A and B are shown apart, each in its own frame.
Chain A
Amino acid sequence: MAMQFYASPEQIMRDRSELARKGIARGRSAVVLSYAGGVLFVAENLSSALHKVSEIYDRIGFAAVGRYNEFENLRRAGVRMADLNGLSYDRRDVTGLALANAFAQTLGAIFTEQSKPFEVEICVAEVGATPDDDSLYRNTYDGSVTDEPGRMAMGGQADAIAGVLKSNHRPDMSLGEAVKVAVQALGSVGGEGGAARSIAANQLEVAVLDRNRVGRTFRRITGAALIALLDGGAEGEAADGDRAKTPTTPTEEAHKPTTSAGSADLEDKPGNPEA
Chain B
Amino acid sequence: MAAGFDPSGRLPDVFTNAGTSSFTSFLSQVAPEMLPGRRPLPPGMAADLAPHATTIVAISAAGGVVMAGDRRATMGNLIAQRDIEKVHPADAYSLVGIAGTAGIGIELMRLFQVELEHYEKLEGAMLSLDGKANRLASMIRGNLGAAMQGLAVIPLFAGFDLAAKDPARAGRIFSFDVTGGPYEETGYDAIGSGSLFARSALKKRFRAGLSTDDAVRLAVEALYDAADDDTATGGPDLTRRIYPVVMTATAEGTHRLTDAETSAVAESVVAGRMENPGG
Please tell me if the beta carbons of A249 and B11 are within 8 angstroms of each other in the complex: no
A236 vs B10: C-alpha distance when bound (angstroms): 39
| Residues of chain B at the chain A interface (Cβ within 8 Å) | 1-3, 8-11, 15-18, 23, 26-27, 30-31, 34, 92, 110-111, 114, 117-118, 120-122, 124-129, 162-163, 251-253
Contact B9 A77 (CB under 8 A): no
A-B contact pairs, 15 of them (CB 8 A): A49-B124, A54-B121, A76-B122, A86-B114, A87-B34, A105-B10, A106-B10, A110-B10, A113-B8, A216-B117, A244-B92, A247-B120, A248-B125, A248-B162, A249-B162
Complex Cα spacing A247 to B121, Å = 9
B162 to chain A, nearest CB (A): 5
**Smallest CB separation, B157 vs chain A (Å):** 16
Q: Are A249 and B163 closer than 8 Å at their CB atoms?
A: yes
Partner among A73, A109, A216, A248 whose Cβ is within 8 Å of the Cβ of B9 = A109
- Which of B8, B18, B120, B122 lies in contact with A109, CB distance below 8 A? B8
* Count, chain A residues at interface, CB 8 A: 32
Contact indicator A84/B162 (Cβ below 8 Å): no
Which residue of chain B is the closest to A58 with respect to CB atoms?
B117
Residues of A contacting B18 with CB < 8 Å?
73, 76
Q: Is the Cβ of A81 less than 8 Å from the Cβ of B121?
A: no
A106 x B121 contact (CB < 8 A) = no
Instruction: Determine whether A165 belongs to the interface, using a CB cutoff of 8 Å to chain B.
Output: no
Residues of A within 8 A of B34 (CB): 87-88
A74–B11 alpha-carbon span in the complex (Å): 9
Task: Contacts A81-B11, A83-B114, A88-B34 given; indicate if A73 touches B16 (C-beta within 8 A).
Answer: yes
A247 touches B15 (CB 8 A): no
Contact B125 A84 (CB under 8 A): no
Residues of A bordering B, CB below 8 Å = 49, 51, 54-56, 73-74, 76-77, 79-81, 83-88, 102, 105-106, 108-110, 113, 216, 244, 247-251
Contact indicator A84/B30 (Cβ below 8 Å): yes
- B253 lies within 8 A of A77 (CB): no
CB proximity of A44 to chain B, nearest CB, Å: 19
Say yes or no: A77 contacts B118, CB within 8 Å. no
> B252 to chain A: which residues have CB within 8 Å?
244
Smallest CB separation, B56 vs chain A (Å): 23
Q: Complex: how many Å from CA A109 to CA B31?
A: 23
The reply to whether A55 and B15 form a contact with Cβ atoms under 8 Å apart is no
Once bound together, how far apart are the Cα atoms of A56 and B124, in whole Å?
11
Q: In the complex the two chains form, is B126's CB within 8 Å of A248's CB? A: yes
Task: Contacts A79-B122, A102-B11, A109-B10 given; indicate if A249 touches B128 (C-beta within 8 A).
Answer: yes
Chain A residues lying within 8 Å of B30, measured Cβ to Cβ, are: 84
State the main secondary structure of chain A at its contact with B.
helix
Q: In the complex the two chains form, what is the Cα distance from A76 to B122 in whole Å?
A: 6
Tell me if B10 and A88 are in contact (CB < 8 A): no
| B118–A74 CB distance below 8 A | no
A208 to B16, CA, bound (A): 25
Q: Which residues of A contact B125 (CB under 8 A)?
A: 247-250
* Distance in angstroms between the alpha carbons of A248 and B10 in the assembled complex: 33
List, in ascending order, chain A residues with CB within 8 A of B92's CB.
244
- In the assembled complex, the CB of A98 is this many whole angstroms from the nearest CB of chain B, namely 9
Distance, CA A72 to CA B25, complexed state (A): 19
A84 contacts B124, C-beta separation under 8 Å? no
Chain A min CB distance to B39 (Å):
15
Chain B nearest CB from A249 CB (Å) reads: 5
Inter-chain CA distance A83–B26, complex, in Å, is 11
Additional 4 contacts, C-beta under 8 A, given A244-B252, A247-B124, A249-B127: A76-B15, A77-B11, A84-B27, A102-B11
Which of B1, B23, B114, B121 makes the CB contact (< 8 A) with A56?
B121
Say how far B141's CB is from chain A's closest CB, in angstroms.
20
Question: Once the chains are docked, how many angstroms separate the CA of A88 from the CA of B23?
Answer: 13
B128 touches A77 (CB 8 A): no
Please indicate which of the listed interface residues B3, B11, B110, B111 has the most CB atoms of chain A within 10 Å of its own CB: B11
From B131, which residue of chain A is reached at the shortest CB distance? A249
Q: How far is the CB of B154 from chain A (nearest CB, A)?
A: 22
Cα-based distance from A44 to B120 in the complex (angstroms): 23
Q: How far is the CB of B83 from chain A (nearest CB, A)?
A: 21
In the complex, A76→B14 CA distance in Å? 10
Distance between Cα atoms of A81 and B2 in the complex (Å): 10
Closest A residue, CB atoms, query B251 = A244
Known A49-B124, A249-B126: A80·B8 in contact at CB below 8 Å: no
Task: Give bound CA distance, A88 to B111, whole Å.
Answer: 10
Q: Which of A74, A86, A249 contacts B16 (CB 8 A)?
A: A74
Cβ of A109: which chain B residues have Cβ within 8 Å of it?
Answer: 8-10
A247 with B126: CB separation less than 8 A: yes
- Whether A88 contacts B126 by the Cβ 8 Å rule is no
How distant is the Cα of A247 from the Cα of B92 in the complex, in angstroms? 10
Cβ of A258 to closest chain B Cβ, rounded Å: 13
Which residues of the partner chain B approach A81 to less than 8 Å between Cβ atoms? 1, 11, 15
